[in-house]
With several copies, the nearest count.
Chain A
Amino acid sequence: MSKPGTGPESGGKSGEPFIQLLTPAGVRVADPHFDQWLADIDGDRLQGLYQDMVTVRRIDLEATALQRQGELALWPPMLGQEAAQIGSGRALAPEDFVFPSYRDTGVAWCRGAEYADLVKVWRGNAPSSWDPYRLNMAPMQIIIGAQTLHATGYAMAAKFEGAETATVTYFGDGATSQGDMNEAMVFAASFQAPVLFFCQNNQWAISEPVRVQAQRPIADRPPGFGIRSLRVDGNDVLACLAATRESLERVRSGAGPCFIEAVTYRMGPHTTADDPTRYRDPNELEDWRTRDPVDRLGAYLQSEGLFGEEFRDQVRAAADAAAAGLREACTSLPEPGGLEVFDHVYSGPHAVLERQKDHYSRYLAGFEAAEGGR
Chain B
Amino acid sequence: MTTATTHMTFGQAINAGLRRALERDPKVLLIGEDIGTLGGVFRITDGLQKDFGAHRVVDSPLAESAIVGTAVGMCFRGFRPVCEIQFDGFIYPAFDQLVSQAAKLHFRSRGRVRMPLTVRVPFGGGFGGAEHHSESPEAYFLHTPGLRAVSPSNPQDAFVMVQQAIACDDPVLFFEPKRRYHVKGEVDLEADLAAAPPLEQARIERPGRDATLVAYGPLVPTAREAAEAAADEGISLEVIDLRSLSPLDFGTVAASVRRTGRLVITHEASQTGGLGAELAAGITERCFYYLEHAPVRVTGFDIPYPPARMEQHHLPDLDRILDGVDRVLGRPNSLSGLED
Residues in chain A within 8 A of chain B (CB atoms): 73-74, 97, 99, 121-128, 131-133, 138-139, 142-144, 146, 149-158, 160-161, 167, 174-175, 177-180, 183-184, 186-187, 190-191, 205-208, 212-213, 273-274, 278-279, 335-336, 338-348, 350-353, 355-357, 359-360, 362-363, 365-367
Count B interface residues, CB 8 Å: 87
Which of B105-113, B149-157, B222-230, B287-295 binds A?
B105-113
Point out the residues of chain B lying under 8 angstroms from A183, CB to CB.
61, 63, 65-66, 69
Q: Given A278-B38, A344-B107, A73 and B308 touching (CB < 8 A)?
A: yes
- Max chain B Cβ within 10 angstroms of own Cβ: one of A158, A167, A187: A187
**Least Cβ–Cβ distance between B137 and chain A, in angstroms:** 14
Residues in chain B within 8 A of chain A (CB atoms): 29, 33-34, 36-39, 41, 55-56, 58-63, 65-66, 69-74, 76-79, 81, 89-90, 92-93, 96-97, 100-101, 104-114, 128-133, 145-146, 148, 168-170, 200, 247-251, 271-272, 301-304, 306-310, 313-314, 319-320, 323, 333-335, 338, 340
When the two chains form their complex, are residues B131 and A365 in contact, meaning their CB atoms are under 8 A apart?
A: no
Show 28 A/B contacts (Cβ-Cβ < 8 Å), sorted by A. A97-B77, A121-B131, A124-B130, A131-B112, A149-B66, A150-B70, A152-B73, A153-B72, A154-B73, A155-B73, A157-B29, A183-B65, A190-B60, A206-B34, A336-B307, A336-B310, A341-B301, A341-B314, A344-B107, A344-B111, A345-B146, A347-B106, A347-B168, A350-B247, A351-B200, A351-B250, A360-B313, A366-B333
14 additional A-B pairs beyond A156-B70, A157-B79, A363-B335, beta carbons within 8 Å, are A121-B131, A143-B132, A153-B71, A153-B76, A183-B69, A208-B61, A341-B306, A341-B314, A345-B303, A346-B170, A351-B247, A351-B250, A362-B334, A363-B320
Q: Given A151-B73, A177-B66, A353-B303, A142 and B110 touching (CB < 8 A)?
A: no
* Alpha-carbon distance A365/B33, docked complex (angstroms): 45
In order of increasing CB-CB distance, the 5 nearest A-B pairs are A153-B73, A124-B308, A149-B69, A153-B70, A366-B334
* Alpha-carbon distance A338/B320, docked complex (angstroms): 14
Q: Given A124-B308, A279-B38, A351-B250, A186 and B131 touching (CB < 8 A)?
A: no
When the two chains form their complex, are residues B111 and A143 in contact, meaning their CB atoms are under 8 A apart?
A: no
Point out the residues of chain A lying under 8 angstroms from B93, CB to CB.
143, 178-180
When the two chains form their complex, are residues A157 and B107 in contact, meaning their CB atoms are under 8 A apart?
A: no
**Least Cβ–Cβ distance between A114 and chain B, in angstroms:** 15
When the two chains form their complex, are residues A152 and B70 in contact, meaning their CB atoms are under 8 A apart?
A: yes
When the two chains form their complex, are residues A186 and B66 in contact, meaning their CB atoms are under 8 A apart?
A: yes
Point out the residues of chain A lying under 8 angstroms from B334, CB to CB.
359, 362-363, 365-367
Set B55, B63, B249: member contacting A179, Cβ < 8 A? B63
Set A124, A128, A347, A365: member contacting B309, Cβ < 8 A? A124
* Alpha-carbon distance A339/B81, docked complex (angstroms): 32
Set A139, A155, A342: member contacting B303, Cβ < 8 A? A342
Set B58, B101, B109, B146: member contacting A132, Cβ < 8 A? B109
* Alpha-carbon distance A205/B301, docked complex (angstroms): 33
Set A128, A149, A367: member contacting B72, Cβ < 8 A? A149
Point out the residues of chain B lying under 8 angstroms from A149, CB to CB.
65-66, 69-70, 72-73, 97
* Alpha-carbon distance A273/B129, docked complex (angstroms): 11
Q: Given A177-B63, A345-B303, A138 and B76 touching (CB < 8 A)?
A: yes
When the two chains form their complex, are residues B65 and A143 in contact, meaning their CB atoms are under 8 A apart?
A: no
**Least Cβ–Cβ distance between B38 and chain A, in angstroms:** 4
When the two chains form their complex, are residues A187 and B77 in contact, meaning their CB atoms are under 8 A apart?
A: no
* Alpha-carbon distance A73/B58, docked complex (angstroms): 30
Main secondary structure of the interface of A (DSSP, over half): helix
When the two chains form their complex, are residues A340 and B70 in contact, meaning their CB atoms are under 8 A apart?
A: no
When the two chains form their complex, are residues B111 and A347 in contact, meaning their CB atoms are under 8 A apart?
A: yes
* Alpha-carbon distance A346/B303, docked complex (angstroms): 9
When the two chains form their complex, are residues B62 and A177 in contact, meaning their CB atoms are under 8 A apart?
A: yes
Set B61, B73, B79: member contacting A150, Cβ < 8 A? B73
When the two chains form their complex, are residues A351 and B97 in contact, meaning their CB atoms are under 8 A apart?
A: no
* Alpha-carbon distance A355/B132, docked complex (angstroms): 25
Point out the residues of chain A lying under 8 angstroms from B310, CB to CB.
124, 336, 338, 340-341
Point out the residues of chain B lying under 8 angstroms from A340, CB to CB.
306, 310, 313
**Least Cβ–Cβ distance between A129 and chain B, in angstroms:** 9
Q: Given A160-B55, A184-B69, A360-B301, A154 and B77 touching (CB < 8 A)?
A: yes
Which residue of B has the minimal Cβ distance to A179?
B65
Set A142, A151, A347: member contacting B169, Cβ < 8 A? A347
Set A184, A212, A343, A347: member contacting B66, Cβ < 8 A? A184
* Alpha-carbon distance A356/B299, docked complex (angstroms): 10
When the two chains form their complex, are residues B248 and A352 in contact, meaning their CB atoms are under 8 A apart?
A: yes
* Alpha-carbon distance A167/B70, docked complex (angstroms): 13
When the two chains form their complex, are residues B70 and A341 in contact, meaning their CB atoms are under 8 A apart?
A: no
Point out the residues of chain B lying under 8 angstroms from A190, CB to CB.
60-61
When the two chains form their complex, are residues A207 and B34 in contact, meaning their CB atoms are under 8 A apart?
A: yes
Q: Given A156-B70, A345-B146, A366-B334, A187 and B307 touching (CB < 8 A)?
A: no
When the two chains form their complex, are residues B170 and A348 in contact, meaning their CB atoms are under 8 A apart?
A: yes
Point out the residues of chain B lying under 8 angstroms from A341, CB to CB.
301, 303, 306, 310, 313-314
* Alpha-carbon distance A146/B93, docked complex (angstroms): 10
Which residue of B has the minimal Cβ distance to A174?
B62
Q: Given A124-B128, A154-B73, A344 and B106 touching (CB < 8 A)?
A: yes
